[in-house]
A and B are shown apart, each in its own frame.
Chain A
Amino acid sequence: MIEVENVSKQFEDLEALRDVSLTVHKGSIYGLVGSNGAGKTTMLKLLAGIYRPDAGNLMIDSQPVFENEALKMRTVFIPDNLYFFLNYTIQDMADFYANIYPQWNNQRYLKLANVFNIEVKRRIRTLSKGMQRQVALWLGLALMPDVMILDEPLDGLDPVMRQKVKNLIIQDVAERQMTVIISSHNLRDLEDICDYIGILHQGKMIIQKDLDDLRADVHKIQVAFSGEIPPALLEQTQALYHEQRGSVLILIVRGTYSEIISHMQSFNPAVLDILPLTLEEIFIYEMGDNGYEIKNILY
């Protein structure tokens, strides 16, 4: 389990993270979403023990991360910008990790060779960006981590490979209860694998949600009245968003499905529809005033 409490991190005169908290339960996948410069990478590097936080606590399994060798042996961090030693082949790099991590699983490494299908004798730096990313995942998975920290892992992969990687990660989560935190600037990338989503914006965690709860909790409705829209409706409804098109009112409201229906029907609408809501829309409306900004982040 990953617990981050009120973490702040400052780079010179730039405040990268401010008072961020998050929790990732064991065996779940947490998606960290945000635009460029939102602080995702900083957050992940803090979790990987690369940066020391200025304030707050970062714990994995109730132990602080920084300079914690035992913990870091069970953690794999795959950064956005990959680094491989000059002139090293995949095999050289595998040997390097095997020498550092006691739990290196050579069988798995060999087995995964079939999935990734890249010659181990090849020098990594001569590979394409996408292939290098695959090598990083390949080596990372062979380390059999309990915690995997992935910074934009799907970036630069083709759709087939994306799916393959997602499957491999999901498989480890399911089989070994691996805990995963994964970042992306694209919410849609994470929609299908994450249990939790957190949105970072300008160094602050603006929203964190369990995806299942979220979907059940926010609804988009369309109501129309034969005459004037009763003013009491807007007054009595805590709408996240409302838009009026002629006599038709579109509302986004929080609450259970049945509550909303009964509340709306008390105003005797001519038409009452519940419309489908995408994940992006949910976030945008959840954000309220900030939502407008967020719109640009999510797409």
Chain B
Amino acid sequence: MKWGITVMKSKTSFINRGILRNDFKRYTWIGIVYLLGLLLTVPLQLVMIFSRPEEVKMYYDASVYLRALQLDYSPLSLILILIVPVLAGLLLFRYLQANIAADMTHALPIKRATLYNTHIVAGLTLLFVPLVITALITWAVVAGLGIDFVQGKDILSWLNVCLLMNLVLFLSTVVVGMFTGLSTLQGLLTYILLLVPAGLSVLVLHSLKMHVYGFPYDLYAAANLDKLSPLLRIPSSGSIPLSTGELIFYILLCIALYLIGRYLYQQRKVESAGNAITFTVLRPIFKYCVTFCTMLLLGSYFYSTQENIIWTYFGYLLGAGIGYFLTAILLEKSIAVFKWQQVKGLGVYTLVIIGLIGLLQVDIIGYEKRLPEMSQVENVYMDTHFHPLIYKAAMHNGTSVKPHLALFKDKDNIANIYNLHQEIIAHRGEEKGVIIPRAINQKRVSLAYQLKDGSCFYRNYTINFAKYKEQLKPIYESREHKIHQHELLRVNLDDIKLVEINSQNGNKSVSISDKEMLQQAVAVLRNDIYDQSYEDMTINKRPAWGDIMVTIAYDKNQPPAMPDVAMVADNSTIRTEKNYYQIYLPWEKSYMHFERWLQSTGLYNQARILPDEDISYALIDYVPDGIDRATYRNLREKGLNEELFEEKPGILKISDSAQLELCLQNYRDYSYSEQAVYLVVFKLKNGNSFSGLFPQAEAPDFLTEHFAQ
């Protein structure tokens, strides 16, 4: 009992120095390896860039140097930051996962909380010290070499992100280590759990897209889901710095992780080392969570590859079965899991899921039927996608570009869109399950209503345009819609610097740069666009005469709103105050004003291919059976086999210019057709050719007459 005196003096302390010293003795190598890795990937990188020849360096700007500090551009440091904290967590708490080490450690006169704190302190020291040293050396390198592009605040923000993310990863590993008793599983589960918030959200959204008609998946899926997962957020932190909100969130997360870990450690049984899940209460939760995730994963996989609901359900079944029994094997540490008890568990799970899918199918909350009150609608966004709502600004060749927002404010248009939406809802049973537009005429409609109370209402559909022609026609023919669709209707006339017309086939081209001519050309084009009928935009669409390229000047400080097709000209060599960009639009055969204007200026013949001037002859064949999907695909991919076509008996060869003109005006692009068609090949004088077809109904009379014989 004489030792009792010493005993009385010792109190419970936050950490145990003996253990801490021992941790450093055993694991300092982690810190050293980490430091070396970081030095190689950060300051050395800067020295390497700096030591490049002057003639190379003169083109460098700050971004080249800053990449060494941006994790998304520096894969090696990213790998280090993703791996080392987890490794440290695994090694420092390795003793918990090995029975004899756990026994030895817990026989020591140290409380569990003290052991926990001590290893946490050891781990954080091993991770933080190399990061701080690297930051200091980087700062010294930058200051020593005089790299002005890199500033103290850049290094500091790198350090902040690294420290915080190391903390998150390390503490996550520790917490995972408390409820699993296998080091391999601990490492694996840490990464999986860090991905789960983002991954599961995507899977759930994807499933809703499958089962709920009108669900605006893209809108939610694109809404920065990576922010939900630290693992995905780390790489993007270089370009999109952590916001204050995120910073606070991660700090709170770390505090929570620390406390959860400590609580679990105290509750954990030493003898549970070696078990997949150390707490028996967590085992069924773990099992059903894994089952749910694998079910959604395989279901989504089959859905996206097969686009078929039967395959999807097969995927669900397969995924649930695999997930369920694999976890059972892992938990039972035996492959003899195909027992009645287990099968019963899976059976109950299946029933619950069937019930859940059933609820989605019968639309218990009325999601599919819901529409906002017409009187409450302030304006409506309608397009074939949600891009402008998702990407508030995109970078294009170093310029921030704002995508155009197709917002309808006109009362009539809103009413028409509302009407279309009502019609879609009324017919929802017919098209439910079609998400990706594959068949001809299937297109997406993305709707966003802004309501008077400030809230928004989103839906996304894939519909067959032919069915909704009546509702779509007034919308498509409206001025607002045309302005949304055509950049040309939105630009300032004075900014247009050049119009170039290039014929589709043959090398004809016209260039207009005279200011007055330009204004006239654009004015008639605008009229044509406004006059274009719904039919000309859709079912009557014929191959264009050519492309019209419009070059527009813009002020660098006020970049234009751009539709997807717009491209910014490469002006990297000419750095003037004004930049130019081009928009392309097709010269449609329905653009009568433009055609007449070209004829009046005498440019018409230079702009398009002409029967006499450019085309030698055309060959036409009658295909009574129409074109099936396979033939269509073949034609699209490989084109027509002209040699075979030419020698075909019964083929019609025309070279009369009036007939050729009629054919040129009316031929269509390939499409599949159940009705008879005429295939046509135009042979150009320059040896080239192009081809298309006439549907029976649209074919010129001389053709039908000829083949009728």
Query: A residues within 8 Å of B by Cβ?
Result: 11-12, 45, 48-52, 67, 69-75, 77, 79, 81-83, 85-86, 92, 96, 99-103, 144, 146
Contact = CB atoms under 8 A, between A and B. Distances in A.
Contact of B271 (A51, A72, A81): A51
Contacts of A83: 100-101, 103-104
Nearest to A102: B6
B3 A144 contact: yes
Contact of A69 (B4, B10, B26, B280): B10
30 contacts: A11-B271, A48-B103, A49-B106, A50-B102, A50-B103, A50-B107, A51-B271, A67-B112, A69-B111, A70-B8, A70-B10, A72-B108, A72-B109, A73-B3, A74-B3, A75-B109, A79-B104, A81-B99, A81-B100, A82-B100, A82-B104, A83-B103, A99-B21, A100-B18, A100-B109, A101-B109, A102-B7, A102-B10, A103-B6, A146-B3
Interface string B13-40: 0001111011001100000000000000
A103 to B, nearest CB: 4
Contacts of A96: 18, 22
B109 A69 contact: yes
Contacts of A51: 269-271
B709 interface: no
A200 to B, nearest CB: 18
Nearest to A70: B7
B440 interface: no
B107 A77 contact: yes
A93 to B, nearest CB: 10
Given A70-B10, A85-B22, A146 B106 contact: no
Nearest to A42: B271
Chain B interface size range: 20 to 34
Nearest to B267: A52
Contacts of A99: 17-18, 21-22
User: Interface residues of A: mostly helix, strand, loop or mixed?
Assistant: loop
A45 B103 contact: yes
A81 B103 CA distance: 9
Nearest to A86: B26
Contact of A146 (B1, B101, B110): B1
Contact of B100 (A12, A79, A100): A79
Interface in B253-306: 269-271, 280
B12 interface: yes
Contacts of A67: 111-112
Nearest to B20: A99
A73 B103 contact: no
B149 to A, nearest CB: 46
B7 A73 contact: yes
A57 B378 CA distance: 73
B109 A73 contact: yes
A112 B111 CA distance: 30
B393 to A, nearest CB: 55
Contacts of B103: 45, 48, 50, 79, 81, 83
A101 B19 CA distance: 11
A233 B626 CA distance: 115
Contacts of A92: 25
B6 A100 contact: no
B4 A74 contact: yes
B107 A48 contact: yes
Contact of A52 (B16, B26, B111, B269): B269
Ranked nearest first, the 6 interchain pairs of A and B with the lowest CB-CB distance are: A99-B18, A72-B109, A73-B109, A83-B104, A100-B18, A83-B100
Contacts of B107: 48-50, 72, 75, 77, 79
Contacts of B269: 51-52
A52 B266 CA distance: 11
B106 A100 contact: no
Nearest to A101: B109
A103 B103 CA distance: 21
Contacts of A72: 107-110
B104 A100 contact: no
Nearest to B268: A52
A74 B4 CA distance: 8
Contact of B108 (A11, A79, A100): A100
B337 to A, nearest CB: 15
A103 B17 CA distance: 16
Given A50-B270, A69-B109, A83-B104, 5 more contacts: A12-B280, A48-B103, A50-B102, A50-B107, A69-B110
Interface in B157-174: none
Contacts of B17: 99
B32 to A, nearest CB: 16
A69 B109 CA distance: 4
A51 B103 CA distance: 9
Nearest to A16: B271
Contacts of A74: 3-4, 7
Interface string B104-139: 101111111000000000000000000000000000
A138 to B, nearest CB: 16
Interface in B302-327: none
Interface string B515-526: 000000000000
Contacts of A49: 106-107
Contacts of B99: 81
A102 B109 CA distance: 10
Nearest to A9: B271
Contacts of B271: 11, 51
A77 B111 CA distance: 16
Contacts of B8: 70
A82 B104 CA distance: 8
Contacts of A52: 269
Contact of B26 (A11, A73, A85, A102): A85
A51 B100 CA distance: 13
A71 B4 CA distance: 9
Contacts of A45: 103, 270
Contacts of B280: 12
Contacts of B3: 73-74, 103, 144, 146
B12 A50 contact: no
A51 B99 CA distance: 12
Contacts of B270: 45, 50-51
A228 to B, nearest CB: 59
B121 to A, nearest CB: 16
Nearest to A76: B107
B5 to A, nearest CB: 10
Interface in B619-646: none
B431 to A, nearest CB: 53
Interface in B203-230: none
Nearest to B113: A67
Nearest to A92: B25
A100 B19 contact: yes
B468 to A, nearest CB: 62
A292 B19 CA distance: 49
A11 B6 CA distance: 36
B26 A100 contact: no
A69 B103 CA distance: 15
Nearest to A50: B106
Q: Which of B7, B16, B99 has the most CB of A within 10 A?
A: B7
A52 B100 CA distance: 16
